[in-house]
Structure 1
């Protein structure tokens, strides 16, 4: 585990009106919480998109023709290149709002969860099998609890 604060450069861009979407500073806080103790330095981008862009990206990169809540694009650097570039997160705002309403969660808390979830994917965490999923979900619970956010996998 890495000690000390993360040297972090998080670019946040909004490809849709910002109404109801947290401020860039919130996304930076959530990313910092996810990366704290896990990496020393990171440079990444968070892009908030509408359903059309979210669907197009999910279709192009994952072959799934629907907008999903968060997409993670880890940086693929050439061998030997040492940069703090971690990758990109794309968060689909309408999907996040809809899911939060359906699950009875605060929208802000759901954004925090998906930002943490996506940042962990950038670090190589995954949930392809039950063991990986349980480990990743437990880590998410711990990070979010540190932010004062309830268990995202609980009963609401």
Structure 2
């Protein structure tokens, strides 16, 4: 059941490797809800689709949409918004789609000594922020996005994912 002021989050598992992590859907829904509660954008009654795929699937998406022929951890595809103002009672607004690759995500979590669900939460939050217009194309934007990610994850009891990165305190 969704909270009336939070986006509807649909999770689609398209790769069997995700069966190893049966709580992934719950982790993602909690992360998206926390993100929605900690941003200024109105995302009530909006819809987010999250596809849990594998490296092969995300490599295809990355190649088709970004021209990069390799897997990545997460991709976001913001939806085009229709003209006019959305009103309560209208069909849900589609914020967009997020795709997360199991093998890349698992490898990163292991290499960074992070619990799987913490890293999955981080990638879900990261993908959600892209859907509502955040990016990290330059240093200032990256700092703003990373600070917001850290704040959202703290609400979930997850430590700063950037704390142990080289060049940080």
TM-score (norm 1): 0.91
- Tell me which of 65, 72, 76 is aligned to 1:68: 72
1:120 aligns with 2:121: no
Query: Contact between 1:52 and 1:67, CA under 8 Å: does it hold in 2?
Result: yes
Q: In 2, Cα distance between the equivalents of 1:103 and 1:7?
A: 31
Q: Which residue of 2 aligns with 1:133?
A: 142
Question: Any residues of structure 2 matched to 1:2-151 within 5 Å, and which?
Answer: 6-17=5-16, 18-20=19-21, 22-36=23-37, 37-38=39-40, 39-41=42-44, 42-80=46-84, 82=86, 84-151=93-160
Query: Contact between 1:145 and 1:151, CA under 8 Å: does it hold in 2?
Result: yes
Number of equivalenced pairs:
153
1:10-52: CA deviation from partner (whole Å, max 9, x where unpaired): 1101111221353312211100111114324220100000111
SS at 2:52 equivalent: strand
Q: In 2, Cα distance between the equivalents of 1:11 and 1:59?
A: 24
Query: Contact between 2:53 and 2:102, CA under 8 Å: does it hold in 1?
Result: yes
Q: Which runs of no fewer than 5 residues in structure 2 stay unpaired?
A: 87-91
Q: Which runs of no fewer than 5 residues in structure 1 stay unpaired?
A: none
SS at 2:11 equivalent: strand
TM-score (norm 2): 0.84
How far has the Cα of 1:77 moved from its partner? 3.0
